[in-house]
Amino acid sequence: MTESDKLFAGSIPRLYDTLMVPLIFEAYAADTAELVAGFSPGAVLETAAGSGVVTRALAPRLGKGTRYVVTDLNQPMLDYAATRQGSTSSIDIEWQQADALKLPFEDASFDVVLCQFGAMFFPDRTAGYAEARRVLRPGGRFVFTVWDRIEDNAFADGVTSAVAEIFPQDPPRFLARTPHGYHDVALIRSDLSRAGFTSIEIEAREKTSRSPSARDVATAYCQGTPLRNEIEARDANALQAATDRAAQVIASRHGEGPVAGKIQAHVIVAAG
Ligand SMILES: C[S@@+](CC[C@H](N)C(=O)[O-])C[C@H]1O[C@@H](n2cnc3c(N)ncnc32)[C@H](O)[C@@H]1O
């Protein structure tokens, strides 16, 4: 992982939230919120909350009096999340910038730590998991999701092939390297075990990603994720050409007009 892989700032928070979230994150957020609410927690910590898609789904489902602390490494993502939150729940959310590997919270403070599609960005997953475990109360649960391999995520795969054509000598590999670079179930289990978790459930969950057009898919991935940083680092003027080529490749694979593609992730609940 490079430093720019975890930089969600500038125009990324808005494009991420308006284009990426409906495309691939919203459906999993609904599942994550249902899972966490089902545990009836008294205190919840969300890490790597991004633009708040899970927060919006979960807050209205938590009981009155529940403590809900929502954190992310990048303050611009949290700022965006806070403006999107509205007042659909009876609980007050505590927004706080925090690195998931150095949580500014006391030991045994939360019943659930949740992290949707954030662990792939941790420079040391075992350290991040140990930190989640440290702030969990006895009997608490760490709920998180990671993407499966890029070949099981059709649009990410298509976009990665397309941008490689623009930079054949040095293809931007952000999507394969980071969001889709941590899918080995045996490795996830071993990282969690080394962090001290003793009960580990992992389920692969497939969904379908839909978009009004191949162009929207291309713009979402090329401009609303850190892939943008990687493209612009190679050529400050290449973003449009890369987006155009990605739109062509997605249209050639998934058709003109509305498009649909397979997405797949691992849903993990760790305890103990
Ligand atoms: C793909 S986004 C997921 C955001 C959100 N959970 C969602 O489902 O839409 C990954 C997020 O991880 C955050 N992130 C990266 N490294 C982090 C770290 N060490 N600690 C906390 N958050 C981190 C990024 O700022 C970004 O918001």
Which of 1, 6, 24 best tests ligand 1's pocket when mutated (most atoms within 8 Å of CB)? 6
Q: For tokens 């943008």, what's the residue?
A: 228
Q: Which of 8, 72, 131, 175 should be mutated for ligand 1, with most atoms under 8 A from CB?
A: 72
Query: Based on the structure, what is the number of domains in the chain?
Result: 1
Please tell me the distance between residue 132's alpha carbon and the centre of ligand 1 in angstroms: 15
- The per-residue pLDDT for 88 is 67
**For the chain (length 272 residues), average pLDDT per consecutive 10?**
76 88 96 98 98 96 95 94 82 95 98 98 97 98 98 98 97 96 98 98 98 96 94 95 98 96 98 96
Look at ligand 1, atom 10, and give the residue with the nearest C-alpha: 118
Residue 116's closest CA among 172, 168, 155, 72?
72
Buried b (16+ CB within 10 A) or exposed e, 63-89: eeebbbbbbbbbebbbebbeebbeeeb
Residue of 73, 131, 228 to test ligand 1 pocket, by largest number of atoms within 8 Å of CB: 73
Assign residue 225 the CATH number of its domain: 3.40.50.150
- Residues within a 6 A CB radius of ligand 1: 6, 8, 21, 25, 47-50, 53-54, 72-74, 77, 99-101, 116-118, 121-122
**Domain containing residue 173:** 3-271
| pLDDT number for residue 8 | 77
